[in-house]
Structure 1
Amino acid sequence: MTEAPSVPMAMRRLGFAGTTDGPIVRDIAVEAPISVEVNGIGYAVMMATPADLEDYAAGFALGEGLVQSAAQIRSIDAHPIEGGIALRLWLPPEHSERALERARKRVSESSCGLCGIENIEEVLRPLPPVTARIATTRDAIAAALAGLADHQPLGHATGAAHAAAFCDPDGRIRLVREDVGRHNALDKLVGALARAGVDPATGFILLSARCSYELVEKTARAGCPMLVTISAPTSLAAARAAAAGLTLVSLARPDSALVVNDTRGMIA
């Protein structure tokens, strides 16, 4: 199930610096509550753009550690309900217990991914080491940055959506997903890669967002060796990337970027 990611809305333009006032119709990004259910048990409620929900479900399950591959998901169903959408994942019995245990702990959920976690030690649990390595260049990163705008139809239409892109080491953009939430966009991308059989270890991820620790965690858990973000990282994001061996490039702009961590020397 996929709903329209944006809807038109009548507004009034307020002019500045000589620009005239006037009526205008502009698309706005759709944000809706998505109730994630695992084997019939309520697991989380996320605010997201109701598009590419099958990709989102797969990426969410992978990021939560409910499955190790998209092939372990038996089915995904999305249905409209009062006020939002029910996104239902069906897993085999051997993957049910973790979902049930996490669901017991969660009272509420937000895009930060922290609600329902019981202690700081759980937040800071070790990430799986990133063992993949690619050979890329500054020119490849610049090429991906330059090409990203051409893959952001929802962002162009609404000015309110983040994009997550998977890029080859040469900077060619292979796949992009958009959402009002940067975490959701990345989950959708990881899910889309898994469902398409594309190994995240073979390229790098580019995000039109600031680099918070959750994005580092999702990238590391996907096994992708490098994360590039448009805005700066937080201190915890930088520390977690270094600990996992994830190459992190931030404040990536047309004229420069900051290499926060490249201990494995992947960028020429």
Structure 2
Amino acid sequence: MSDLDSDSIFVAAPPPPAVSVECLAQRGKDLVRSVRAAPEETAIAFTFNGITHAVMMATPADLDDFGVGFALTEGLIEKPADISSLEIIPTELGVEVRIWLPEDRGETYSARRRSMAGPTGCGLCGIESLSEAMRFAPAVPSAGVFERGDIVKAMASIQAGQTLNAQTHAVHAAAFWTPAGGLIALREDVGRHNALDKLAGALCRVGVCAGGGLVLLTSRVSIELIQKAARMGAPMIAAVSAPTAAAIRLAEDCGVTLIAVVRGADFEIFTHPERIVDRVIANVA
């Protein structure tokens, strides 16, 4: 079974993902009263078997996907069926995502937790061990090839799906695109890693394999995003912004094709260009 049983998920209404706020805006020579939408940023606590694992600031939307995706990309589960139950519990201070694991997965969690400390709100913050921060990323099989035009079409497809960003101009998106199906899923969050975790959970819950498509990011590419994408089995990542050097090294090592600085018809391929067909290699001074 690829998804959690519906009886195993309890979702209470979280806060809205965006709110209207008043501001003073300069328009020409005038200072006028204005209203804009601001993305909500809420403390999200992940608990596994009753023990708090991490607390991070995130957009309070798609939290069931977030819980599954976080557990997946942290290596605590391999599939949604590894979760016994999941509850979304709003409180006065934030939202608790309660995840219960069966006994065998609980042992995996206990071992994992011993190497972590406190909140991981920005992806790596609070991780105690340097080796944990640079943790292993699984090798990604060389699944399929893409045309150069696919990269351009894929990135152009995500704007229409960024409804929260259209309201707020302040959130990141992570999306999944395939040549046959187009835009399959898109998730948004104030945190770029949170958006990717939500996307991982959304795909995993409906049994979509990330190996057949392209992960799209509206952010820069840092090392933890490569780690998470590799755990998803995603062979290709394309991002609007540039990657870090550590992200490039890890993508090369684990077999991920990393494409970044995608602007209109232009982009740069940093690793494993063999997945891009009809390519032309030229030296640029």
Q: Could you list the per-position Cα deviations for residues 88-112 of structure 1 after superposition, in whole angstroms to 9, with x for gaps in the alignment?
A: 0111110012222333443322333
Aligned to 1:46: 56
| Aligned counterparts of 2:18 and 2:122: Cα–Cα separation in 1 | 23
Q: Distance in 1 between matches of 2:216 and 2:181?
A: 10
* Moved segments of 4+, more than 6 Å: none
Residue 171 of structure 1 deviates from its aligned partner by: 7.8
Q: Any conservation in 2 of the 1:36–1:42 contact (CA below 8 Å)?
A: yes
CA distance in 2, matches of 1:31, 1:44: 16
CA distance in 2, matches of 1:53, 1:198: 19
1:30 aligns with 2:19: no
Change (3 A) 1:230 1:101: same
- Native 8 Å contact 1:43 1:102 kept in 2: no
Q: Partner letter of residue 16 of structure 2?
A: A
Equivalent in 202, 208, 225 of residue 218 of structure 2: 208
Q: Does 1:136 align with 2:150?
A: no
Q: Output the amino acid matched with 1:266.
A: I
Does 1:70 find its partner at 2:83?
no
What's the counterpart of residue 97 of structure 1?
A: 107
Q: CA deviation at 1:71?
A: 1.6
CA distance 1:95–1:157, shift in 2 (3 Å): same
Evaluate the alpha carbon distance shift between residue 167 and residue 248 of structure 1 in structure 2; reply closer, same or farther with a 3 A threshold. Answer: same
Please tell me whether the aligned partners of residues 118 and 126 of structure 2 are also in contact (alpha carbons under 8 angstroms). yes
TM-score, structure 1 normalization: 0.94
Of 82-91 and 185-194, the range deviating more from structure 2: 82-91
Count of aligned pairs between the two proteins: 266
Structure 1 unaligned regions, length at least 5: none
User: Per-residue CA shift, 1:123-157, capped at 9, x if unaligned?
Assistant: 33332110141221121111112121101000010
Structure 1 residues 24, 116: CA separation in 2 closer, same or farther (over 3 Å shift)?
closer
Letter in 2 for 1:250: A
- Structure 2 unaligned blocks of 5 or more: 1-10, 279-285
- Distance in 2 separating the partners of 1:165 and 1:113: 18
Q: Which string of whole-angstrom CA distances, capped at 9 and with x for unpartnered residues, describes residues 170-216 of structure 1?
A: 58211100000000000000000000111111101000000101111
Secondary structure class of the residue paired with 1:108 = coil
Instruction: Report the 3-state secondary structure (helix = DSSP H, G, I; strand = E; otherwise coil) of the residue aligned with 1:194.
Output: helix
**Residue identity (%):** 41
Report the equivalent of 2:156. 146
The normalised TM-score by structure 2 is: 0.88
Q: CA deviation at 1:267?
A: 4.1
CA distance in 2, matches of 1:257, 1:183: 22
